[in-house]
């Protein structure tokens, strides 16, 4: 659905993105993660046909973004970062206008449908200028969904929303992502973690990592850490765990819990659990300590900075 | 083509949401009304004294066009500059519409607004028709209105084109106004002073074809070509400016 190869964009002398290559399949939600100024918005603007790349090519929904820009734009729904809206228009009129530009049949009914999807049906007669930031964000999202696009490109879709709305919007994106391709940028790592099938980490215009969130964690860790907690005194707990074959780096924490590690791919949790219970402890918790995406992110972008 | 119409319709509706449009309409209709009354008054006096000619309402149309030199830039200044300032241009440029359609739609919207105001001015020839015998010269009237539409079309197209270059609507206003001043006064003035070569300058003057030819009833090919070329030029400048924005 999206296929990008060797994409490069220069703003004058500054190179915003450099030789970017990735793809996204139908029914996939791909997260675009990176610090500010990493080139996320630039990439999205190229994919939506807003501006041409300096070099390389991008194919969206089967059409080249430069050669067949109009065809691409027909098939892409785009929510820009700043959510530009005509503030002097009424919500309904605005969406109807955007729908007419996209030649949507039965546009009134469709506008009501998307307003319902984003939960703004009761504000459809209000001026956009009077809406809160979160509501404007949802108007922008409604605009992006209006024409049932094959590809949805969302630049920071949940920014400015309150927690309840964030959950709703994520649910909506997840729903859409089942059938269509969604590319979303975010600086919220947990958002990428719980929403995206795959994450692209971009820094200084280059992709520094690309994988599923789980694989990224595993790849960086090389091993899995687990924390064990039991009821009451647990002086010998560490010894008990050590007795399981394959366990290494056993550490007792200050609160009595014990952390250990094993090589990834070979889950030793059942064995540890059996051993702990056999030794007479009341097992309260046995939890994998995955490296959070935050840590991965800092590791990747930080390493890159160190090299320079 | 449908997109041009969709955009034009929105811009047209949008004029009625802004006080500016009412100010512009008022600034045209009030002076025109006063001027028309004055024409009637003096013609009546002349007739009473036993002389003078029947009043001609094409003079009203000349004033309309003259006022448009100052007022049309106010109608076009924000059409594209404001889209760039508010960021909504990103919305338009990622919608499946051609850059030309966007520019032409804006122009058509402004055109429709001016035509609505022009429609109101039809009241003057209609009054006159009922006041004088054997009535007014309708052929001349139609030529005059056609000329008015042509020159307005050129002005609005240039205004839209210049608006596409700027992100500040007032910058767009003053540059457009400056251009019209140049085309209206600066080119025409030396033409009347030069012993030779004045024709070329006259041809390039914004006012010449309207004031000298069309408004006197002769719709010349030169005039037609001139105003249509300026319209095309304005739309071309606008489209190119938008394309340049994409590349920046």
Lowest mean pLDDT among A249-258, B80-89, B157-166, B229-238: A249-258
For residue B157, the distance in angstroms to the closest alpha carbon of chain A comes to 22
Q: Cα separation of A169 and A164, whole Å?
A: 9
- CB–CB of A51 and B96 under 8 A? no
Nearest residue in A to B16, CA atom: A88
Map tokens 């000329």 to a residue. B147
pLDDT digits (tens, 9 = 90+) for B147-204: 999 999 999 999 999 999 999 999 999 999 999 998 888 776 776 777 776 777 777 8
* Residue of A82, A87, A102 lying closest to B95 (CB–CB): A102
CB A9 within 8 A of CB A15: yes
For residue A133, the distance in angstroms to the closest alpha carbon of chain B comes to 15
Task: Identify the residue with better confidence: A38 or B76.
Answer: B76
- Return the closest-CA partner of residue A259 out of A251, A268, A270: A251
Residue A307, pLDDT score: 40
Separation in Å, CA A162 to CA A22, A127, A171, B122: 32, 21, 14, 56
Question: How many A-B residue pairs are in contact by the CB < 8 A criterion?
Answer: 58
Nearest residue in A to B82, CA atom: A86
Interface-testing mutation among B94, B169, B242, B244, with chain A (most A C-beta atoms within 10 A) = B94
Mean pLDDT, residues B82-101 taken together: 93
Q: Which residues of B touch A143 (CB under 8 A)?
A: 91
- CB–CB of A102 and B96 under 8 A? yes
Residue A36, pLDDT score: 78
Pairing of strands A2-11, A55-60: antiparallel
Q: How many CB atoms lie within 10 A of CB A222?
A: 9
* pLDDT band for position B43 (cuts 50, 70, 90): confident
- CB–CB of A70 and B246 under 8 A? no
- CB–CB of A48 and B94 under 8 A? yes
* CA torsion through residues B160, B165, B167, B170, sign: negative
Which residues between 144 and 163 in chain A have a beta carbon less than 8 angstroms from any beta carbon of chain B?
none
* Residue of B2, B3, B88 lying closest to A84 (CB–CB): B88
Residue A306, pLDDT score: 42
In terms of DSSP H, where are the helices of chain B?
2-15, 19-49, 58-86, 88-93, 99-121, 123-131, 138-165, 169-181, 188-193, 198-204, 208, 221-247
Residue B135, pLDDT score: 76
Which residues between 62 and 91 in chain A have a beta carbon less than 8 angstroms from any beta carbon of chain B?
70-71, 73-74, 76, 78, 80, 82, 84-88
Residue B163, pLDDT score: 96
pLDDT digit string (tens) for chain A, length 308 residues: 899 999 999 988 888 898 999 988 888 999 988 877 888 899 999 999 999 999 999 999 999 999 999 999 999 999 998 889 998 899 999 999 999 999 999 999 999 999 998 888 999 999 999 998 888 988 999 999 999 999 999 998 888 788 888 888 888 889 888 889 999 998 777 788 788 888 888 888 888 888 887 776 666 555 677 788 887 777 777 777 778 777 777 877 777 788 877 776 677 788 888 888 888 888 888 887 766 666 667 767 665 444 43
Q: Which residues of A touch B246 (CB under 8 A)?
A: 50-52
Backbone angles phi and psi of A153, in degrees to 5 = -115, 115
* Residue of A84, A100, A103 lying closest to B91 (CB–CB): A84
pTM for the predicted model, two decimal places: 0.84
Cβ–Cβ contact A136 with B under 8 A: no
Q: Cα separation of B58 and A60, whole Å?
A: 57
Q: How many CB atoms lie within 10 A of CB A100?
A: 17
pLDDT at B81 exceeding the cut of 80: yes
Residue A217, pLDDT score: 64
DSSP secondary-structure letter at A127?
B
Residue B102, pLDDT score: 96
Cβ–Cβ contact A127 with B under 8 A: no
Q: Which residues of B touch A11 (CB under 8 A)?
A: 248
pLDDT digits (tens, 9 = 90+) for B3-42: 999 999 999 999 998 898 899 999 999 999 999 999 888 8
* pLDDT band for position B136 (cuts 50, 70, 90): confident
Interface-testing mutation among A50, A96, A149, with chain B (most B C-beta atoms within 10 A) = A50
Q: Cα separation of B5 and B107, whole Å?
A: 10
pLDDT digits (tens, 9 = 90+) for B60-70: 889 999 999 99
Residue A290, pLDDT score: 63
């Amino acid at each position: 659905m999206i296929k990008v190869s060797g994409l490069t964009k220069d703003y004058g002398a500054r190179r915003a993105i450099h030789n970017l290559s990735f793809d996204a399949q139908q029914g996939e939600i791909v997260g675009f993660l990176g610090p500010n100024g990493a080139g996320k918005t630039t990439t999205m603007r190229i994919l939506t046909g807003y501006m041409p790349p300096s070099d390389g090519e991008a194919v969206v929904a089967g059409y080249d973004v430069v050669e067949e820009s109009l065809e691409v734009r027909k098939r892409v729904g785009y929510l820009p970062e700043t959510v530009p809206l005509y503030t002097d228009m009424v919500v309904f009129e605005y969406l109807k206008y955007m729908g007419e530009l996209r030649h949507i049949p039965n546009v009134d009914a469709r506008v009501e449908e998307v307003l319902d999807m984003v939960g703004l049906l009761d504000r459809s007669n209000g001026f956009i200028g009077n809406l809160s930031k979160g509501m404007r964000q949802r108007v922008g999202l409604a605009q992006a969904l209006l024409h049932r696009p094959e590809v949805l490109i969302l630049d920071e879709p949940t920014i400015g929303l309150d927690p309840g709305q964030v959950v709703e919007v994520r649910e909506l994106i997840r729903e859409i992502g089942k059938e269509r391709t969604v590319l979303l940028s975010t600086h919220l790592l947990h958002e990428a973690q719980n929403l995206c099938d795959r994450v692209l980490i971009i820094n200084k215009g280059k992709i520094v990592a690309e994988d599923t969130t789980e694989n990224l964690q595993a790849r960086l860790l090389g091993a899995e850490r687990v924390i064990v907690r039991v009821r009451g005194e647990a002086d010998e707990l560490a010894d008990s765990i050590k007795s399981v074959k394959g366990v290494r780096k056993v550490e007792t924490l200050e609160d009595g819990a014990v952390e250990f590690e094993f090589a990834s791919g070979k889950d030793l949790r059942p064995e540890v659990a059996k051993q702990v219970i056999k030794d007479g402890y009341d097992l309260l918790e046995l939890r994998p300590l995955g490296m959070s995406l935050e840590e991965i992110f800092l590791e990747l972008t930080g390493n890159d900075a160190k090299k320079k | 083509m449908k997109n041009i119409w969709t955009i034009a319709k929105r811009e047209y509706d949008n004029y009625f949401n802004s006080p500016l449009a009412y100010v512009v309409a008022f600034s045209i209709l009030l002076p025109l009304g006063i001027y028309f009354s004055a024409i009637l008054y003096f013609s009546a006096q002349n007739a009473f004294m036993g002389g003078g000619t029947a009043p001609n309402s094409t003079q009203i149309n000349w004033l309309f066009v003259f006022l448009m030199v100052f007022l049309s830039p106010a109608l076009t200044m924000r059409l594209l500059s404001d889209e760039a300032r508010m960021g909504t241009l990103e919305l338009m440029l990622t919608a499946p519409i051609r850059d030309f359609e966007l520019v032409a739609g804006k122009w058509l919207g402004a055109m429709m607004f001016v035509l609505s105001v022009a429609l109101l001015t039809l009241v003057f020839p209609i009054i006159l028709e009922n006041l004088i015998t054997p009535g007014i010269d309708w052929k001349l009237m139609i030529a005059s209105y056609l000329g008015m539409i042509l020159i307005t079309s050129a002005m609005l197209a240039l205004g839209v084109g210049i608006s596409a270059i700027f992100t500040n609507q007032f910058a767009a206003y003053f540059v457009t106004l400056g251009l019209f001043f140049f085309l209206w006064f600066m080119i025409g003035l030396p033409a009347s002073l030069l012993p030779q070569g004045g024709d070329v300058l006259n041809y390039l003057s914004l006012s010449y074809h309207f004031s000298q030819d069309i408004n006197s009833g002769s719709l010349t090919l030169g005039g037609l070509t001139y105003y249509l070329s300026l319209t095309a030029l304005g739309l071309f400048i606008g489209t190119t400016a938008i394309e340049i924005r994409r590349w920046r």
